[in-house]
Amino acid sequence: MKSFRKYLPYVAAALIGAATLAAPSQARAAFQIRFSTDGGATFSSGVSDGDVLDTNSNAGTIAINVDGFLITAVASGGTSSALSVIDLQIQQIGLGPATGGTVVVQASMDGLITVPAPQTLINRFTDNTLPVGGVPAGGDVATGETFVASGSGLFVTSGGSLVLDTGSVNPSPVPTNYVFNSGTPYAITTQITSTFAAGASLQVDNNNRITGAPAPGGLLLAFTGLPVLSVGTWLRRRRNRVAA
């Protein structure tokens, strides 16, 4: 058993390699983030990946400073035929906002190509802001919401093209699944609304993943077949060495 354990890292590496080979290449998509400090009545201009106002140099990640508050908003995402991901976070800078208030932050990405329908959106919304207990205790009250719209276009949150609206979501450690039907391309917008007290240590996350149904057969084979092949190869080599 101890000898077998030595080879587990090699088996794991082979699995990772198979998953990489089976995953489709990522498609290019329009991707922006914006914010509102008046409850969503008006929004800032959208900031794209690599724009001057994007403070994160990594491709696929946008970070902006929210005007009037010591808060940063960070979004990351990408799309392929097997999986689309968009994640939005708001967090403190330094010691937290000097004054309380409300911010609405949205991240949006179009050109999504994950199929086949019906697709499943897996949403996980968490709030780890300190102190715990909401605004009266010096923390925050946060809700999330995610929209999916058919066709192209960023920040689509209403109208006939919507195929999914999660409604207002409260923080929970348990992910929630939503099923929708859309051809390609389609777009996703995810949102965080936070009302916070001065000095709150903000850490709110709205994470979204979209998969098609059923799962791609090639990807399933990569995950189910390769472990057997890898272990089988190791056993054959082991027997050959013993026989020698």
pLDDT per position as a tens digit, 28-72: 579 999 999 999 999 999 999 999 999 999 989 999 998 777 788
- Is residue 104, in this structure, part of any structural domain at all? yes
- Is residue 45, in this structure, part of any structural domain at all? yes
- Is residue 2, in this structure, part of any structural domain at all? no
- Is residue 238, in this structure, part of any structural domain at all? no
Angstrom distance (rounded) from CA 182 to CA 113:
10
- Is residue 237, in this structure, part of any structural domain at all? no
Among candidate residues 24, 203, 237, the one with its CA nearest the CA of residue 96? 203
Three-state SS at 95: coil
pTM of the entire structure?
0.77
- Is residue 222, in this structure, part of any structural domain at all? no
Give the chain's domain count.
1
Among candidate residues 138, 123, 157, 124, the one with its CA nearest the CA of residue 34? 157
Q: Do 110 and 153 contact (CB within 8 A), yes or no?
A: yes
**Count of beta carbons in the 10 Å neighbourhood of residue 194:** 23
Low-confidence ranges of the chain (pLDDT < 70): 1-28, 93-97, 215-244
* pLDDT score recorded for residue 199: 84
What is the spatial order of strands in the sheet that 140-150 belongs to? 47-48, 31-36, 101-112, 186-196, 140-150, 162-165
- Is residue 151, in this structure, part of any structural domain at all? yes
- Is residue 58, in this structure, part of any structural domain at all? yes
Half-sphere exposure of 226 (CA within 13 A, CB side): 19
